[in-house]
Amino acid sequence: MDQTKQEGGYGYDLFPERSKRKYKEGSIAERLFTFNNKCQVMLQFAMETSPYAKLLLSAMKSSGCKILKDRHLSCEDCDGTVSGGFDAASSQIVLCQNNIHQQSHMNRVVTHELIHAFDHCRAHVDWFNNFRHLACSEIRAANLSGDCSFSQEAARLNFGLKQHHQECVRSRALRSILAVRKISREEAEKIVDEVFDTCFNDYAPFGRIPHSNRDAKFANRDYENRDRYYANL
Catalytic residues: 113
CB of 112 to Zn ion, least distance (A): 6
Residue 93 lies near Zn ion (rule: CB under 5 A):
no
Smaller CB separation from Zn ion, 92 or 176: 176
CB of 156 to Zn ion, least distance (A): 18
Strand partners of residue 92: 87
CB of 180 to Zn ion, least distance (A): 8
CB of 213 to Zn ion, least distance (A): 21
The residues in 119-158 that bind Zn ion, with binding defined as CB under 5 A, are 138, 141
- Peptide bond between residue 205 and the one before it cis (omega within 30 degrees of 0): yes
Smaller CB separation from Zn ion, 60 or 141: 141
Strand order in the sheet with 73-76: 73-76, 92-96, 84-87
Smaller CB separation from Zn ion, 75 or 82: 82
How many residues of this chain bind Zn ion (CB under 5 A)?
3
Rounded CA gap, 15 and 34, in Å?
Answer: 19
The residue from 83, 145, 176, 220 that contacts Zn ion (CB under 5 A) is: 176
Planar angle of CA 206, 211, 214, nearest 5 degrees: 80
Smaller CB separation from Zn ion, 88 or 141: 141
Smaller CB separation from Zn ion, 50 or 176: 176
Contact 109, 196 (CB under 8 A): no
- Of 130, 125, 46, the C-alpha closest to 91 is 125
In sequence order, which residues have a C-beta less than 8 Å from that of residue 88 and are 6 or more positions away? Answer: 120, 125, 127, 128
In sequence order, which residues have a C-beta less than 8 Å from that of residue 60 and are 6 or more positions away? Answer: 66, 67, 114, 117, 118, 121
Interacting stretch for Zn ion, rule CB under 5 A, among 61-69, 121-129, 168-176, 224-232? 168-176
Rounded CA gap, 165 and 158, in Å?
Answer: 10
List residues near Zn ion by CB under 5 A: 138, 141, 176
